[in-house]
Amino acid sequence: MTKGIPTLLDLEGLLTGKYSAVYFQRAADILAQDGKNPHVVMQIFQRNPAIVCGVDHVRELLKHCLTAEQKTKVVLKTLSDGDSVAPWETVMTLEGPYNYFAALESLYLGLLARATRAATNAREIREIVRPGTQLIFMADRYDHYAAQELDGHGVMVGGFNAVCTQSMAHIDQAPALGTISHSLIACYGGDSVEALKAFDRYVDPSVNRIALVDFTNDCVADSLRSARALGKKLWGVRLDTAENMFDETIRKLVADGRVTEEYQRHAGIGIGYGGTGVNPLLVWKVREALDAEGFQHVKIVVSGGFNVERIRIFEKYDVPVDVYGIGSSLYHGRFDYTADIVKVNGQPMAKAGRQYNHNPRLREVSLR
């Protein structure tokens, strides 16, 4: 598969130091005015077990910001996107005349930190779900749009199947998927089936038909209405019940005092995991209803506040989820990178507590 070329925004700003900490540029200016440009080894690491990501973007940054002559004198050695890394393990080294890349430190560390966070959090989820379960990145609205490409690449490296915007999909040429929006349903008078029919009439047939079924807060009823309307053309239903609401089916079970009994029947446990939002019992009831009417082919997509802890519970009890839509929970944690000069003109030279840490896993990457 041909990969997209990483996008660098505001190239002029990158070259003029607009996004770099001023002390890096001042360091380069001081050295230049003093007639110095020492040959250094810059060593880059971070402090957590992680999945490395952002390497392709760093390479693109260097390709754009170094002159042709400078590229012949700077050596980039690195792990690859998707590699596992231990705390303090060297992830990357830059070797060459320091002034050439002194002002880029803020930039390459930031690219690595953000992409590594997305990849690491995505990999954690991939490793706990059952084989064949699909994961979609639905974080289009939780941060600045300029970060979408890097985040999308990160989650794909971490093992997700799809994303939700074209920018997120760019690097890996990943599928940009979506269902039906609540706003579209509202524009069809709150009738989710009418909105689904319109989607079916006008959207490319190659796009999966996935009904959004929580608009009226009755996922079971709207799942059945959607399946009856589209039949075999319906790929799936998406449950996105608000975290502070009881779906109508769950509300009735609570009123009848049957929640514990239902959890015991499905999971062999006497207590349930909450009752509001998209919970295991609601998924089981939707699956039962669809299967009872012969719609076994319809898949179940869940979204709305899913994180590692919640997904672990769903997976522990074999809740019949086919696709998880996951958003802002992938932004948690810190995966900060640090860069240190560890050699100057071939001799060891580093701040106290740091030293050259050779990593035989690093491979040289061309900057041309």
- What are the boundaries of each domain within the chain? 11-117+333-365, 130-331
pLDDT of amino acid 9: 82
Task: Determine how many CB atoms are found less than 10 A away from the CB of residue 72.
Answer: 12
Confidence of residue 174 (pLDDT cuts 50, 70, 90): confident
pLDDT of amino acid 269: 62
Q: Which CATH architecture has domain 130-331?
A: Alpha-Beta Barrel (3.20)
Query: Do 130-331 and 11-117+333-365 have the same topology in CATH?
Result: no
Rounded Cα distance, 158 and 51, in Å? 7
pLDDT of amino acid 2: 56
Rounded Cα distance, 192 and 174, in Å? 28
What's the CA dihedral at 290, 296, 302, 307 to 10 degrees? 130
What is the C-alpha R_g of the chain? 25
Rounded Cα distance, 313 and 308, in Å? 9
Helices (DSSP H) in 146-237: which residue ranges? 148-158, 166-169, 182-187, 192-202, 219-230
CA angle 128, 131, 137 (to 5 degrees): 65
Give, for 98, the enclosing helix (H) or strand (E).
helix 98-101
The interaxial angle of helices 219-230 and 280-292, nearest 10 deg, is 30
Lowest mean pLDDT among 45-54, 163-172, 287-296: 163-172
Fold of 11-117+333-365: nicotinate phosphoribosyltransferase (3.20.140)
What's the CA dihedral at 44, 59, 159, 82 to 10 degrees? -40
Q: Side chain identity at 297, as an amino acid letter? A: H
User: Six-digit token pair at 266?
Assistant: 């499905």
* Each residue's pLDDT tens digit, 317-336: 999 999 999 999 999 999 99
